[in-house]
Structure 1
Amino acid sequence: MLKLQNVSKQFDRKVVLDDINVEIKTGEIVSLLGPSGSGKTTLLNIILGLTQLDHGRIIFNDMDLSNVSMKNRGFNIVFQDYALFPHLSAYENIIYGLRNKKGLVSETELQEYIDFLELKPHLAKKIGELSGGQKQRVALARTLVMKPKILLLDEPLSALDGVIKESIKQRIQSIAREYKLTTIIVTHDPEEALTLSDKILIINQGNISQFGTPQEIINQPNNDFVKEFILKQLQIKRQNIYNLFGEKYA
């Protein structure tokens, strides 16, 4: 379990996160959702260890990681732009992090990850020869082989559309279920959060507006901001809302 206790952060005296308290269960997919500048990316970076919090604690499986370095937390991130090495093949990208981690995964495990993400036909290709969805799968494989304790994803679907986006959604859900891997996703898109997540943490101006299941957020929005942001400002596709929650909310 991951617990965020009274997490706060300021930049240049501006409060970016104010007293964030959340508990995330093992294997859950949780989306950090909010408008630009709401503090969601800062919170992701604090969990990762890339940004130091000013106040509060990060507790993972009863261990206080608040002052533990990013390297020693064992959490891994897939960045929005994938951060793949263009001069290397897909396979070389996947195993890149294992150079200094000999024995972390067996050859059998490595092939299981590759097969799970259906990457075998693309292993010899350079990154420039891959589609957006294939690049995303390579980035996921490169992260999974490091056996992360928590998987962090920064806007994983923003560069994708249509069938490819739906395919990657399913992959992310399958990864979380198959490996019981707690997965935390930053997104600005309510549709993505509603269709992908077990829970959604809606952040506005550094504060929690609501934390709950997609059904709870749709059926019982905590305040006007949640209702406006989810149902009006970003104009979620009516058909997706209908499929998830019924005609009343479409």
Structure 2
Amino acid sequence: MMLAVEGLTVRYGALAAVADVDLSVADGEVLALLGPSGCGKSTLLRAVAGLEPVAAGAVRWDDTDLADVPVHKRGFGLVFQDGQLFPHRDVAGNVAFGLRMQRMANRAERVAELLELVGLAGYEKRKVTELSGGEAQRVALARALAPRPRLLLLDEPLSALDRALREQLAMDLAGLLRVAGATALVVTHDHDEAFTLADRVAVMRAGRIVQADPPQEVWRRPVDEDTARFLGCGLFLPATVTDGTVTCDLGSADLPWAPDGDVTLGLRPNALRLTGNGISGKLLRSVHRRDHVRLQVRLDDTDQVVDAVAAIAETPGDRVHLRLDPDGLAVLGRDAGQGE
């Protein structure tokens, strides 16, 4: 059982919102479509659902072309950003709505089973207008899972929630999808969310898929500089990898997963950390973040200003020392330049 998208193009007039996309989702796999706003990821998901007309290409399920199959007969479950719950129905009524196309004698048992799955056991009679944002999205997920869809489509399901709740619900959702054995296509612009949820991440840019790999591979080895920038890299340096050690002008670090040879090294803000030794510079700024302090440092003997992180604030004007942290590094091939 597999979803296959082949050469899919969706146009709005002269604009190709999705351009010649090939993509597959295997049985039981969770695939995240990751990209900035306007890249075409939601349009692609809606085309898979049958909600957008296709200009070229095909959407297939198990080799069956779905071009003439209406939305409600595709066997797909949909969860949108706002949940789209029915305010006149209680929680049980909203979940049971997902079973409206099925003849089932034990609907109440199935509703209770799903609410247990999403962590809302006992909420059957609760009004949906009394739910928190996270609870409402759990109900929307339970409703989508109710008829046991062969594919679950989630369009920015957590983006309306505050950051802390979004992070918690992403971890919960990842577990729920695995327990349910769901095959899912998830649209998100948040790379933390994508890497938490997905078995594989497909990065979109300007209507095209530019990379589709396991999360760790996308994070460590982005396909090009544009992808690396989207994933947080702000500085790029020529470097050499020898026997798992990368060396550049800012020092060296152990990268046992990196191939030997000349590479371009991408540095995220946490790629340089405060230490007792290492490259030195003058601290220009020290800004508190939620779980760390962000530093800006002008390196000695150069006008180059770099970002770094520390556990505690330092005083601007102080002399500091920085070292490379492997967790903040990405490796691109030397020939990887700007994306298409």
Quick check: TM above 0.5? yes
Residues 133-191 of structure 1: CA deviation (Å, up to 9, x unaligned): 11011111111112111111111111223553233223322232223211111111112
Residue among 306, 326, 330 paired with 1:248: 326
Task: Determine if the alignment matches structure 1 residue 77 to structure 2 residue 75.
Answer: no
Q: Tell me the TM-score normalized by structure 2.
A: 0.66
> 1:226, 1:39 → 2: CA distance?
15
Query: Counterparts in 2 of 1:143-182, with a 5 A limit?
Result: 143-182=144-183
> 1:229, 1:210 → 2: CA distance?
13
- The answer for the alignment partner of 1:24 in structure 2 is 25
- The answer for the alignment partner of 2:199 in structure 1 is 198
- The answer for the alignment partner of 1:124 in structure 2 is 125
Q: Which deviates further from its counterpart, 147-156 or 62-71?
A: 62-71
- The answer for the alignment partner of 2:90 in structure 1 is 89
Q: Which deviates further from its counterpart, 103-112 or 197-206?
A: 103-112
- The answer for the alignment partner of 2:102 in structure 1 is 101
Query: Counterparts in 2 of 1:25-44, with a 5 A limit?
Result: 25-44=26-45
SS at match of 1:120: coil
Q: Which deviates further from its counterpart, 108-117 or 6-15?
A: 108-117
- Alignment length (residue pairs): 243
Residues 57-77 of structure 1: CA deviation (Å, up to 9, x unaligned): 112122221331111111111
Question: What is the RMSD of the two structures over their aligned residues, measured on CA atoms?
Answer: 2.3
* Cα distance, 1:81 vs structure 2: 0.6
Distance 1:104 1:65, change over 3 A: farther
Task: Determine if the alignment matches structure 1 residue 51 to structure 2 residue 129.
Answer: no
> 2:222, 2:105 → 1: CA distance?
44
Task: Determine if the alignment matches structure 1 residue 64 to structure 2 residue 60.
Answer: no
Q: Which has the higher helix share?
A: 1
SS at match of 1:95: helix
Distance 1:33 1:149, change over 3 A: same
Distance 1:64 1:92, change over 3 A: same
- Structure 1: stretches of 5+ with no match in the other structure: 240-245
- Structure 2: stretches of 5+ with no match in the other structure: 235-266, 271-290, 292-323, 329-340
Q: Which deviates further from its counterpart, 42-51 or 28-37?
A: 28-37
> 2:268, 2:119 → 1: CA distance?
30
The answer on whether the counterparts of 1:191 and 1:237 sit within 8 Å (CA) in structure 2 is no
SS at match of 1:156: coil
Q: Which has the higher strand share?
A: 2
Query: Aligned letter for 1:164?
Result: L
Q: Tell me the TM-score normalized by structure 1.
A: 0.89
Query: Counterparts in 2 of 1:128-143, with a 5 A limit?
Result: 128-143=129-144
Q: Which has the larger radius of gyration?
A: 2
Query: Aligned letter for 1:169?
Result: A
* Cα distance, 1:119 vs structure 2: 1.6
Q: Which deviates further from its counterpart, 191-200 or 108-117?
A: 108-117
> 2:168, 2:224 → 1: CA distance?
33
* Cα distance, 1:215 vs structure 2: 1.0
> 1:61, 1:128 → 2: CA distance?
40
Query: Aligned letter for 2:122?
Result: P
- The answer for the alignment partner of 1:213 in structure 2 is 214
